[in-house]
Amino acid sequence: MRVLNGLAGLVCGVLSGYGIGGGSLLLLWMTQVAGLGQAAAQGINLVYFLPTSASAVISHLKNGLVEKKAVLWAAIPGTVTAAAAAFFAAGVEPSLLRRLFGIFCVLTGVKMLAGSMKKT
Protein backbone atom coordinates (compact mmCIF):
# COMPACT_ATOMS: atom_id res chain seq x y z
CA MET A 1 0.00 0.00 0.00
CA ARG A 2 2.92 2.37 0.68
CA VAL A 3 4.10 2.02 -2.91
CA LEU A 4 0.61 2.77 -4.24
CA ASN A 5 0.30 5.79 -1.97
CA GLY A 6 3.71 7.02 -3.17
CA LEU A 7 2.72 6.56 -6.80
CA ALA A 8 -0.58 8.35 -6.20
CA GLY A 9 1.31 11.25 -4.61
CA LEU A 10 3.75 11.38 -7.52
CA VAL A 11 1.01 11.35 -10.16
CA CYS A 12 -1.03 13.96 -8.28
CA GLY A 13 2.10 16.12 -7.88
CA VAL A 14 2.75 16.07 -11.62
CA LEU A 15 -0.90 16.89 -12.34
CA SER A 16 -0.76 19.74 -9.81
CA GLY A 17 2.25 21.19 -11.60
CA TYR A 18 0.19 21.33 -14.76
CA GLY A 19 -2.75 22.90 -12.94
CA ILE A 20 -5.02 19.91 -13.49
CA GLY A 21 -6.23 19.53 -9.91
CA GLY A 22 -3.89 16.95 -8.47
CA GLY A 23 -4.64 18.14 -4.94
CA SER A 24 -8.32 17.30 -5.35
CA LEU A 25 -7.43 13.90 -6.73
CA LEU A 26 -5.05 13.34 -3.83
CA LEU A 27 -7.82 14.14 -1.36
CA LEU A 28 -10.07 11.59 -3.04
CA TRP A 29 -7.28 9.00 -2.97
CA MET A 30 -6.51 9.57 0.70
CA THR A 31 -10.13 9.42 1.87
CA GLN A 32 -11.57 6.79 -0.46
CA VAL A 33 -8.62 4.45 -1.07
CA ALA A 34 -6.12 4.98 1.75
CA GLY A 35 -8.87 5.27 4.39
CA LEU A 36 -7.71 8.50 6.03
CA GLY A 37 -10.16 10.74 7.81
CA GLN A 38 -11.25 13.99 6.21
CA ALA A 39 -9.34 16.21 8.66
CA ALA A 40 -6.08 14.27 8.23
CA ALA A 41 -6.45 14.28 4.44
CA GLN A 42 -7.06 18.03 4.40
CA GLY A 43 -4.00 18.66 6.56
CA ILE A 44 -1.79 16.50 4.36
CA ASN A 45 -3.21 18.18 1.26
CA LEU A 46 -2.35 21.63 2.60
CA VAL A 47 1.24 20.59 3.32
CA TYR A 48 1.41 18.87 -0.08
CA PHE A 49 0.20 22.03 -1.79
CA LEU A 50 3.12 24.18 -0.64
CA PRO A 51 5.97 22.62 -2.69
CA THR A 52 3.80 21.80 -5.70
CA SER A 53 2.39 25.31 -5.92
CA ALA A 54 5.81 26.89 -5.35
CA SER A 55 7.33 24.92 -8.21
CA ALA A 56 4.39 25.80 -10.48
CA VAL A 57 4.69 29.52 -9.63
CA ILE A 58 8.43 29.51 -10.32
CA SER A 59 7.88 27.77 -13.66
CA HIS A 60 5.06 30.12 -14.68
CA LEU A 61 7.04 33.21 -13.68
CA LYS A 62 10.04 31.96 -15.62
CA ASN A 63 7.90 31.42 -18.71
CA GLY A 64 6.16 34.80 -18.43
CA LEU A 65 2.75 33.28 -17.76
CA VAL A 66 1.89 35.34 -14.68
CA GLU A 67 0.12 38.69 -14.89
CA LYS A 68 1.85 40.33 -11.95
CA LYS A 69 -0.80 43.03 -11.52
CA ALA A 70 -3.49 40.39 -11.18
CA VAL A 71 -1.63 38.52 -8.43
CA LEU A 72 -2.49 41.04 -5.72
CA TRP A 73 -6.15 41.08 -6.72
CA ALA A 74 -6.27 37.29 -6.54
CA ALA A 75 -4.03 36.71 -3.52
CA ILE A 76 -5.82 38.91 -1.01
CA PRO A 77 -9.38 37.61 -1.57
CA GLY A 78 -8.01 34.07 -1.92
CA THR A 79 -6.26 34.28 1.45
CA VAL A 80 -9.32 35.71 3.18
CA THR A 81 -11.58 33.08 1.61
CA ALA A 82 -9.20 30.25 2.55
CA ALA A 83 -9.10 31.42 6.18
CA ALA A 84 -12.90 31.71 6.32
CA ALA A 85 -13.30 28.25 4.79
CA ALA A 86 -10.86 26.78 7.31
CA PHE A 87 -12.89 28.18 10.21
CA PHE A 88 -16.07 26.89 8.58
CA ALA A 89 -14.61 23.42 8.01
CA ALA A 90 -13.40 23.18 11.60
CA GLY A 91 -16.97 23.45 12.87
CA VAL A 92 -18.70 21.18 10.35
CA GLU A 93 -19.33 17.45 10.60
CA PRO A 94 -16.84 15.51 8.41
CA SER A 95 -19.63 13.61 6.61
CA LEU A 96 -21.14 16.92 5.50
CA LEU A 97 -17.73 18.12 4.32
CA ARG A 98 -17.38 14.95 2.24
CA ARG A 99 -20.76 15.54 0.63
CA LEU A 100 -20.05 19.20 -0.05
CA PHE A 101 -16.68 18.34 -1.55
CA GLY A 102 -18.26 15.64 -3.71
CA ILE A 103 -20.88 18.09 -4.97
CA PHE A 104 -18.13 20.62 -5.69
CA CYS A 105 -16.14 18.03 -7.67
CA VAL A 106 -19.18 16.98 -9.70
CA LEU A 107 -20.16 20.59 -10.48
CA THR A 108 -16.59 21.44 -11.46
CA GLY A 109 -16.44 18.40 -13.74
CA VAL A 110 -19.75 19.27 -15.38
CA LYS A 111 -18.61 22.85 -15.94
CA MET A 112 -15.33 21.68 -17.46
CA LEU A 113 -17.11 19.23 -19.75
CA ALA A 114 -19.63 21.86 -20.82
CA GLY A 115 -16.82 24.30 -21.54
CA SER A 116 -14.91 21.77 -23.62
CA MET A 117 -18.03 20.96 -25.63
CA LYS A 118 -18.53 24.64 -26.49
CA LYS A 119 -15.00 24.79 -27.93
CA THR A 120 -15.60 21.88 -30.31
pLDDT of residue 120: 62
pLDDT in tens, 17-45: 677 777 788 888 999 999 999 889 888 88
Angle at 50 between CA 16 and CA 53, to 5 degrees: 40
CB 71 within 8 A of CB 53: no
**In whole angstroms, what is the distance from residue 120 CA to residue 41 CA?**
37
Low-confidence ranges of the chain (pLDDT < 70): 17, 119-120
CA distance 114 to 117: 5
Please name which of 59, 2, 51 lies closest in space to residue 23, comparing C-alpha atoms: 51
pLDDT score recorded for residue 84: 93
